[in-house]
Amino acid sequence: MKTNDTSRRDFIAAGLLAGLTVAGCKSSKSNPFDSLADNQVKPSGEMVKLLGVNGEVIEVDKAFLKPVPDLPPISNEMARRGIAGKKFVMVIDLSRCKSVKACQTACNHAHQIHGGQNWIKIYPLQEAEHTAPYWQPTTCMHCDEPPCVKVCPVDATFKRQDGIVLIDSDRCIGCRFCMAACPYSTRVFNWEELELPKEVAEKPYSCETSVPQKKGTVGKCDFCPDMVRKGGLPHCVSACPNGVFMFGDMLEDTVTNGAETFRFSDLVKDKAGYRLMEDLGTKPSVYYLPPVNRNFPFENKEPQTETKKS
């Protein structure tokens, strides 16, 4: 088993390199896999001087030094379009989940969610009397045909070209139709004024960070596109000590939990991946690997939550 620390370090290294590579190579600008954000990034012309390994001084364009100095703020227009040439996907391996809830903690911390609400929910499930109980974490499914987006009257929740479904809390009118429409119960509502630290509350809202949440609007898991733009992984993915969550770009056919990287198509094929409520036709972007060959018992320590069928 990998420790939290290992996966974290690997992940940050990988993420940084994704950003820094372009700086090193001259010919790689046409390659969309070198840098996540390269579709948006243009050389700034502003060069930064650095020390090379041979002790020589090298010059690198500042725009490519991601995430290092500063990421230019994403406009609402850009946040609504999403990252071109990407199609994000998540794989959740139920055979590894033992409800540590590190994902939930990290997510709540990153998005400043309080008051017992959660964007990631971890369900103790048992399909039928004699079938195996298991833990099922749910994020937003980022459906390809999202029922919540269908019903939104004001374009406050929207589907981007990279497959992510986001919420514009500056536009949401709080009708809660999307909450009724979502069959996965992933949406939460900010019933009251949130108690946020002043510097968080005063930040302008960004659809990509979903921070700060606003009273009278809906919130939900956003697949952390701000992290992804920086070359990182969603907070839940990097927080999970058991590597339950794997995230990646379907068009790269790769998913990773930071420590381990798999070819998405092979993984889903070999482990018989599936999606939740396929019959509803929502076409989720989250795939589940069945809870087989678990090397730990299912222990539900919360007596008040009965294990129910899905």
Q: Which residues contact 97 (CB under 8 A, 6 or more apart)?
A: 122, 134, 135, 136, 137, 242, 244, 291
Q: Which of 76, 117, 275, 294 binds other proteins (CB under 8 A)?
A: 117
Using CA atoms, how far apart are residues 112 and 193, in angstroms rounded to an integer?
13
The string of DSSP letters for 96-138 reads: G-----HHHHHHHHHHT--TT--SSEEEEE-SSTTSPPEEEEE
Of residues 257, 280, 253, 239, the one with CA closest to residue 93: 257
Q: Is 12 in the site for other proteins (CB under 8 A)?
A: yes
Q: Is 11 in the site for other proteins (CB under 8 A)?
A: yes
Q: Is 75 in the site for other proteins (CB under 8 A)?
A: no
Q: Is 29 in the site for other proteins (CB under 8 A)?
A: no
Q: How far is the CB of 204 from other proteins (least distance, A)?
A: 16
The two structure tokens encoding residue 115 = 């008051």
Give the chain's largest Cα–Cα span: 69
Point out which span in 10-18, 39-47, 203-211, 284-292 binds other proteins (CB under 8 A): 10-18
Q: Which of 73, 115, 132, 300 binds other proteins (CB under 8 A)?
A: 115
The two structure tokens encoding residue 10 = 């690997």
| Number of neighbours of residue 58 by Cβ within 10 angstroms | 14
Using CA atoms, how far apart are residues 192 and 33, in angstroms rounded to an integer?
42
Q: Is 23 in the site for other proteins (CB under 8 A)?
A: yes
Q: Which of 45, 49, 129, 202 binds other proteins (CB under 8 A)?
A: 49
Residue that has been written with the tokens 């960004």 in this structure: 206
For other proteins, the binding residues in 140-199 under the rule CB under 8 A are: 144-147, 149-156, 158-163, 171-177, 179-181, 183-185, 187-193
Q: Which residues contact 3 (CB under 8 A, 6 or more apart)?
A: 241
Q: Is 34 in the site for other proteins (CB under 8 A)?
A: yes
| Number of neighbours of residue 293 by Cβ within 10 angstroms | 7
Contact track, other proteins, 81-100, x by CB under 8 A: xx--xxx-------------
Q: Is 303 in the site for other proteins (CB under 8 A)?
A: no
Q: Is 37 in the site for other proteins (CB under 8 A)?
A: no
Gyration radius from the chain CA atoms: 20
- The nearer residue to other proteins, 52 or 204, going by C-beta atoms, is 52
Q: What is the DSSP letter of 68?
A: S
Q: How far is the CB of 140 from other proteins (least distance, A)?
A: 13
Q: Is 30 in the site for other proteins (CB under 8 A)?
A: yes
Q: Is 258 in the site for other proteins (CB under 8 A)?
A: yes
- The nearer residue to other proteins, 30 or 293, going by C-beta atoms, is 30
For other proteins, the binding residues in 213-252 under the rule CB under 8 A are: 215-218, 228, 231-233, 237-238, 247-249, 251-252
Residues making up the chain, counted from first to last: 310
Residue that has been written with the tokens 């700034």 in this structure: 44
Point out which span in 71-79, 198-206, 212-220, 292-300 binds other proteins (CB under 8 A): 212-220
